[in-house]
Structure formats: C-alpha cells, structure tokens
Amino acid sequence: MRVILDRLYVVTGALAALFLVAIAVLVLLSIGSRLAGTYIAGLSEYAGYCMAASSFLALAYTFRHGGHVRVQLLLQRAGGRWRRALELWCLAIAMALAGFLAWYTIKTVIVSIELGDVSEGADATPLWLPQLGMATGAAVLALAVADRLLNVLRGGALEGGASDTHD
C-alpha cells in the first residue's frame, strides 16, 4: 500500500511536469505559427488547460515535498505534544477542505459530461476532458493529506521529518 501511494504521488507529479512542458511547446507553436503568418485555433485555450492540469496534478506531489506555504510562527514555537496536536488540527482541516474541493471538482466533471458542456473558445473542446486533470489532482491531494493524517495519528514523523524528504 505504502509503495502504491508513494508511486501515485510521484506519477501525478511527473504528469504535472509533462503538462508544464506542454505549455512551453504550445506557446512556442503559437509564436511559430504567428511568424509563419498562419493561425492555429485554440492554442491559448489548450495552454490554459495544461496550466490547470499541471497545477492540480502536482498538488499531492508538492504537498509530500513540503512545498505548500503555511504560517510557521506557531508551529515552530510549539513543542512536543502541542506541536503534534497542532499538526493534527491542521491536517484534519486540510483533509476536510481538500476533500470538499475534490468532491465538487469531480461533480463539475460529471455535470460537464451530462450537459455536454463545450468550451466557448475557438477550440470547442468538451470541457470534461481538461477538467478531469483538475478533479484527479484534487482527489489525489485529499488522499495524500488523509495519508499523512493517518501517519501522524499512528505516531509517524511530522512534516520536515526524514520520511518526507525522499521520493
């Protein structure tokens, strides 16, 4: 289970990186097409979709790396048991919010499929497709936060501990 979860975070992170490269490629294409005097419809929309996919798919991976900012003032001053309690509170709130986000982004995908929503831009993409990246990323984040919460409840290391620094 541990291995599968860790691999999931890394794989979604790698996907996010691919989408970042895709943004660069799309923008290069749009510069190239402009120089060539042609126009490829929907490039900027696709770049936007890649942006959303990259941002969301990287959520869990970034979380595992301690990459999301938080106010450390209290956390750094709290010691021992208080520190652990505070961390549990933060993780519980974060899990609820990430779960909420996942729930409604998944719902958005379902609604887009049911209504057959299509992008208003020149690309006319069925919206559920790019929204899938957002929903997947949010769901994996909720999973990663729950994973960490269980780990801390079982007495595992807090953020910044050795268990987080490698993957």
Q: Does 110 bind another protein (CB under 8 A)?
A: no
Residue 163 contacts another protein per CB under 8 A: no
Find out whether 26 and 19 touch, Cβ atoms under 8 Å: no
Helix spans in 43-158 (H): 43-57, 59-64, 73-77, 80-115, 128-153
- In Å, what is the CA distance from 94 to each residue of 101, 106, 115, 122? 10, 18, 31, 37
CB of 24 to another protein, least distance (A): 5
CA dist 106 and 108 (Å) reads 5
Question: Both tokens of residue 63?
Answer: 């979380």
Is 39 a binder of another protein (CB under 8 A)? yes
Q: How far is the CB of 80 from another protein (least distance, A)?
A: 16
Q: Which is nearer to another protein, 1 or 17 (CB)?
A: 17
d(CA 53, CA 70): 23
Q: Is 143 in the site for another protein (CB under 8 A)?
A: no
Confirm or reject binding of residue 82 to another protein (CB under 8 A). no
- Site size toward another protein (CB under 8 A) is 61
Is residue 152 part of the contact set for another protein (CB under 8 A)? no
CB–CB of 57/137 below 8 Å? Answer: yes
**Cβ–Cβ contacts within 10 Å for residue 63, how many?**
21
Residue 5 or 22: the one with the smaller Cβ distance to another protein is 22
CB atoms < 10 A from the CB of 18, how many? Answer: 13
* Comparison of 1 and 124: residue with beta carbon closer to another protein: 124
Q: Which residues of the shown chain bind another protein in the complex (CB under 8 A)? A: 13, 16-17, 20-21, 23-24, 27-28, 30-31, 34, 39, 41-42, 44-45, 47-52, 54-56, 58-59, 61-63, 65, 67-75, 86-87, 89-90, 93-94, 97-98, 100-101, 103-105, 107-108, 121-122, 130-131, 134
